[in-house]
Amino acid sequence: MHLTFTSYSSVQKKLELPYPVDFAGPVHFEERKTALAETWGTFNAKELWFDGACVIQTEAILKEPCTINIGCNGFCWLMNFMQTGDLTIQLENIKTIQLNEGSHHTFYTPVLNAELVLKRSARMFTVCLTRKFISKLMGNDTIKLSLNENAKLIATGNYKHTRLQAVIQEITGAAQPGVIRRIYLESKVLELLSIQLHQAETKAATKGFSKDDVERLQEAKQIIAQNLQTPCSLIELARKTGLNDFKLKKGFKALFGHTVFGYLFELRMDNAYRLLQDGKSVSEVAEIIGYKNPHHFTAAFKKKFGFLPSMVAKMAG
């Protein structure tokens, strides 16, 4: 597998970035720095790869606007995050995509052939995943994709001041030794992927709901989180958010993956676990999260976690 960067100002000048098959190698991970010098400026790439995944930090320092063609001879699942500057990308079978500072997109393509137009200096963070890596995670049914079809845009939006930005900083700042760093990096790549797939699922699930409906459903979620001890009934929640019963129930499940009371249960149990870790008694925790009967709380906790709440303190000790 390899990536090829060719600037149109000097077609003869290419930057070849070769990689082993599926980014596999004899060590936990490999790193490389490369550069392309042109009349329009310089293009630098800092890469790190391990089995199935490659993380690339690129920087273009421009003297004048330029166009670069980037090609990959194999399947690519790409997550691009524009850190500074802006970029216009033309992909085969996908409309032109504009990436501005703070925006991101995810797409996959059987063979990459893209035209990048840069009008000013820019920095971008990219994660490239192989077909093997994606197929191992998803099987045949997740988001109903076929990895053999034409290029397909999965998700796009802004990532600044979100968990995505924090994960990128964690990846670029990782400094653990050897296999520990390798495991850490893979966990962060998976987190980036899961967040963007969730965004795609949410967008598909909320099709048919207006922007106002989505904002009211977000409000419903906040109300539930703020009232664990004395939760609202569905009728009260619908009244407070201005949603009818049907939109509340259907929209909440579509947007958040839980029923209203399923989400309440998950919040209660997660809070309960943290409070038990902090040393609070079972009866105290039951009261704090809204269970009048500690025995009912104990039964619910065991259903969720598979062990009694009294075991949490012992495990922490």
Residue 11 scores a pLDDT above 60: no
Q: What is the pLDDT confidence band of residue 149, given thresholds at 50, 70 and 90?
A: low
Which residues does 269 contact at the CB level (< 8 Å), separation at least 6?
300, 301, 304, 305
Q: Quick one: 228 and 195 in the same domain? A: no
Q: State which of 146, 176, 205 marks the end of a domain.
A: 205
- The overall pTM is greater than 0.75: no
Burial of 192 (0-12, 13-18, 19+ CB in 10 A): buried
pLDDT in tens, 85-98: 999 988 876 778 88
Tokens in use for 278? 């902090």
State the DSSP H helix or E strand holding residue 42, giving kind and residue range, or none if neither.
strand 41-50
Q: Quick one: 82 and 231 in the same domain? A: no
Q: Quick one: 42 and 176 in the same domain? A: yes
Query: Which residue segment(s) compose the domain that 98 sits in?
Result: 2-205
CATH at residue 255: 1.10.10.60
Instruction: Return the bridge partners of 7, or none.
Output: 68
Q: Quick one: 57 and 198 in the same domain? A: yes
Tokens in use for 83? 């850190």
CATH at residue 41: 2.60.120.10
Q: What percentage of the chain exceeds 70 in pLDDT?
A: 92
What is the CB neighbour count within 10 angstroms for residue 210?
10
- How many separate domains does the chain show? 2
pLDDT in tens, 264-316: 999 999 999 999 999 999 999 999 999 999 999 999 999 999 999 999 988 76
pLDDT in tens, 153-203: 888 888 988 889 999 999 999 999 889 999 999 999 999 999 888 888 777
Q: State which of 157, 181, 205 marks the end of a domain.
A: 205
Q: What is the pLDDT of residue 10?
A: 59
Residue 215 scores a pLDDT above 80: yes
